[in-house]
Amino acid sequence: MKQSIFIMAILLLAGLFLSACRGNGEGEKNVLPELQLQPYKEEAKANLTAYVEALDPDDYSDENWAAIESIANTGKENIDMAIDKQGVDSALAAANDEIGLIEKKNKETEDLAKYKENAKASLMAYVEALDTGDYSDVNWAAIESIANTGKENIDMAADKQGVDSALAAAIDEIGLIEKEHKEIDELAEYKEEAKANLTAYVDTLEQEDYIEEYWAIIEDIANTGKENIDKAADKQGVDSALAAAKQYISMIGNGHKGFVLTISMEDTTVMQGDDFIVEASLKNQSGGEVEIGYYTTPFNAYIDGWFDFSLPALSKPPQPDFLTLENGESYHETRRLSSIADYDPLTYVPIPLPVGNHELRFFVSFWLDQQYIRIWSNKIILIVQ
């Protein structure tokens, strides 16, 4: 009988143990043996890895991306330490939430920062391309100051347009210093070379080959040429002034004391583009008769390198008229001239003489005793307004 009681007690305790293990069924869902929970953990860690891989590292600073990787690693450790599914879910959610709080980079701000750095590099490259030898110490210091201010203005710009404006303003300001120093010095040197060239040209002439009055004209032309060179605004103007003076001198000829050509004007001031009247007179005092061939008129005008040659009309046969002057006889003519300096080579639109003072002379050319003679008149200063 004692043995039966013992067996019943054991069966009762076993029933109570099994009932306690089963409970209401909820513990079975949350408390799993390790072998059953491990696959759930691996799936959670894979989800966390996939979440991180879906992010773009370029959207974050290096520091913040390192923080994301650290959070992910810690999250996986917390998942591994979880004792149930609820713990796994909590560790995964916590890691995802913490990663979501990491701040992304402001791409627009970063792009602007890079744009500013590129602009400052462009400004420095522009300055470095300049030759310090082309500037005085003061001007080079000014360039460096402008560059530094330009970089500061680039840094303060609120957008790319502001960066572009600051860069362009600095380059423009530096460019003005370059022109102010270098180009003016070059032009001054170019003018001196041109005047020396003109002097050398005159020096090649023999004063004894000219009558006194004509040598004075040559000297006058040379002096006026040098003045025009000094007034030139650029190298092209210098070249034009030098060429005009040489051409004028080359046309003077030796002259002849036996002829006097004079011109006069009642009013030497004319309005730009208007015609004006010149009285011209040629006197023969050579001691003999002279015959002058001409077309339209024997008098040719010369104004600052512009010639008004008397040429035959296209409709006329190329046969000149002749003027015969006895010794002591004079020939007088009233000429109407236009203050047109030239014509546009493409449109043939007239170009008036510019406002200012201009030299006006007449000349007459003819053969005498098998010698070609060119007679020049006195000079009139024509004032164009």
Domain definitions of the chain by residue range:
28-100, 107-190, 205-253, 255-385
Check residue 81 and give its pLDDT.
93
Please state whether beta strands 259-264 and 275-284 pair in parallel, antiparallel, or not at all (unpaired). Answer: antiparallel
| Separation CA 108–CA 201 (nearest Å) | 68
Q: Give the closest residue to 200 by CA, choosing from 263, 242, 139.
A: 242
* Inter-helix orientation angle 62-81/85-100, to 10°: 170
DSSP 8-state class, residue 135? S
Tens-place pLDDT, residues 232-272: 889 999 998 898 888 878 777 666 778 888 899 999 999 98
Element (H, E) at 256: none
Check residue 21 and give its pLDDT.
46
Check residue 26 and give its pLDDT.
46
Fold for the domain defined by 255-385: Immunoglobulin-like (2.60.40)
Q: Of 20-34, 91-105, 119-133, give the lowest mean pLDDT range.
A: 20-34
Check residue 300 and give its pLDDT.
84
Classified as helix, coil or strand, 267 is coil
Segments in the chain forming alpha helices (H) = 2-22, 26-30, 34-53, 62-81, 85-100, 107-128, 137-156, 160-178, 184-203, 212-231, 235-250
Mean pLDDT within 122-130: 92
Better pLDDT: 354 or 182? 354
Check residue 291 and give its pLDDT.
87
**pLDDT(22) > 50:** no
Check residue 72 and give its pLDDT.
93
Residues 292 and 364: beta-carbon distance below 8 Å: yes
**pLDDT(220) > 80:** yes
Q: Residue 319 class from Cβ within 10 Å (0-12 exposed, 13-18 middle, 19+ buried)?
A: exposed
Q: Give the gyration radius of the chain's Cα atoms.
A: 51
Q: Give the closest residue to 238 by CA, choosing from 193, 203, 185, 202.
A: 193
CB count in 10 Å sphere of residue 369: 9
Tens-place pLDDT, residues 56-71: 898 888 888 999 999 9
* Structure confidence at residue 180 as a pLDDT band (50, 70, 90): low
Residues 325 and 373: beta-carbon distance below 8 Å: no
Give the HSE-up count for residue 124: Cα atoms under 13 Å, Cβ half-sphere.
10
Check residue 33 and give its pLDDT.
64
Mean pLDDT within 333-349: 75
* Structure confidence at residue 179 as a pLDDT band (50, 70, 90): low
The model carries a pTM of: 0.44
* Structure confidence at residue 45 as a pLDDT band (50, 70, 90): very high
Q: What b/e sequence results for 129-139 when a residue is b if at least 16 CB atoms lie within 10 Å of its CB, and e otherwise?
A: ebeeeebeeeb
Q: What b/e sequence results for 113-127 when a residue is b if at least 16 CB atoms lie within 10 Å of its CB, and e otherwise?
A: eebbeebbeebeebb
| Separation CA 168–CA 179 (nearest Å) | 17
